Amino acid sequence: MPVVETIQAYLEAQRREVDRELDRILPPEDAYPLSIHRAMRYSVFAGGKRLRPILCLESGRLFGGDDRVLRRAGSALEMIHTYSLIHDDLPALDNDDLRRGKPTSHRQFGEATAILAGDALLTLAFETLTAFAADRDADAEHAQLRVVHELAHAIGTRSGMVAGQVVDLEVTAETTDPATLDYIHGAKTGSFICAAVRTGAILGGAAEADLDRITTYGEKIGLAFQIADDLLDVLGSKQSMGKAVGKDGRQQKATYPALHGVAQSQKIATRLVDDACETLQVYGARAQRLQELAHFLIERNH
């Protein structure tokens, strides 16, 4: 093993660990009713990068969290993420045929099963988050409850994922100003990414001052991540992305490149990541992985 593991090798190793945990938690394909379990597994194991679980793991590790607890929470995050992708792809929303290089859930299993697979993953995520070992102490129980409460809020209708998705559906680039675009991006994507790093920190036992720093980091990388996603829709290829590209422009979506231009969007994303990394300087080399991850989020090609 080389002394300095590349970010790719590191991500791959972490992804494998998360995948093992997901495989343990998700009902097997031969569990009755087969159709729903097949659909849940199909989308969860379609080849996601597992960025939210990995962010949760690294954030928790910074404060000495237990890897088993963090992996379990990270798996719940990935289930929520996968639910959001399945529903986002539905005909009534983005109507996409391809996701992670494979037919979308509704193309593969039909719309009814896809809707239910999303619902089931969202539900299983909260079952998973509340199924920690019986020997936990009062602090761990409190952390668990706080995580459930925060995550539910982060994906809800008050500046959470559903809120961002709703506004995203209701506006176009023409009718949107930069402040509304920041609301959409922060709510639709940023709040959940921020919740992922907060989840790790809370489960790791971080103090409130540490949580504040992690929150600043999470908010900045969350927005940067969605700006990068907007840019990839303009600059990326269908092959590397595993989904249709150029759709935002065709549908006159409100995006960073549409409102700010490509070069300025790249500049803003880089600045956000630099600021996010700066926030963690107080932790010295211990925060190196989180800083590398922040850079990876905007340098990725898929």
Q: Which does 198 bind (CB under 5 to 8 A by kind): Mg ion, ligand FPP, none?
A: none
Residue 265 within binding range of ligand FPP, rule CB under 6 A: no
Segment interacting with ligand FPP, rule: CB under 6 A, options 136-144, 158-166, 172-180, 245-253:
158-166
- When CB distances to ligand FPP are compared, the closest residue is 48
**CB-nearer residue toward ligand FPP: 62 or 121:** 121
Q: Are strands 98-99 and 102-103 parallel, antiparallel or unpaired?
A: antiparallel
Q: 44: which residues sit within 8 A by CB, 6+ positions away?
A: 22, 26, 78, 79, 82, 121
Cβ at position 206, least distance to ligand FPP in Å: 24
Segment interacting with ligand FPP, rule: CB under 6 A, options 10-18, 68-76, 145-153, 160-168:
160-168
Cβ at position 186, least distance to ligand FPP in Å: 12
Could you identify the residue written with the tokens 């080849």? 47
Residue 276 within binding range of ligand FPP, rule CB under 6 A: no
Total of residues contacting ligand FPP (CB under 6 A): 16
Contact indicator for 220, 150 with CB cutoff of 8 Å: no
Residue 49 within binding range of ligand FPP, rule CB under 6 A: yes
- Give the binding site for Mg ion (CB under 5 A): 88, 94
Q: How many residues does the chain have?
A: 302
Bridge partners, residue 103, by sequence:
98
What's the token pair of residue 277? Answer: 């990394």
Cβ at position 263, least distance to Mg ion in Å: 24
Q: Which does 188 bind (CB under 5 to 8 A by kind): Mg ion, ligand FPP, none?
A: ligand FPP
Residue 186 within binding range of ligand FPP, rule CB under 6 A: no
CA 133, 57, 157 angle in degrees (round to 5)? Answer: 85
Q: Which does 234 bind (CB under 5 to 8 A by kind): Mg ion, ligand FPP, none?
A: none
DSSP assignment of 76-110, as one string?
Answer: HHHHHHHHHHHHHHSTTTT--SEETTEE-HHHHH-
Segment interacting with ligand FPP, rule: CB under 6 A, options 4-12, 83-91, 127-135, 263-271:
83-91
Q: Report the distance separating Cα 287 and Cα 111, nearest Å.
A: 43
**Taking each helix axis from N to C terminus, what angle separates 67-89 and 7-25, rounded to the nearest 10 degrees?**
80
Q: Is the dihedral of CA 8, 10, 12, 14 positive or negative?
A: negative
Contact indicator for 302, 241 with CB cutoff of 8 Å: yes
Q: Which does 253 bind (CB under 5 to 8 A by kind): Mg ion, ligand FPP, none?
A: none
Contacting residues toward ligand FPP, per CB under 6 A: 48-49, 51, 81, 84-85, 87-88, 100, 161-162, 165, 188-189, 226, 229
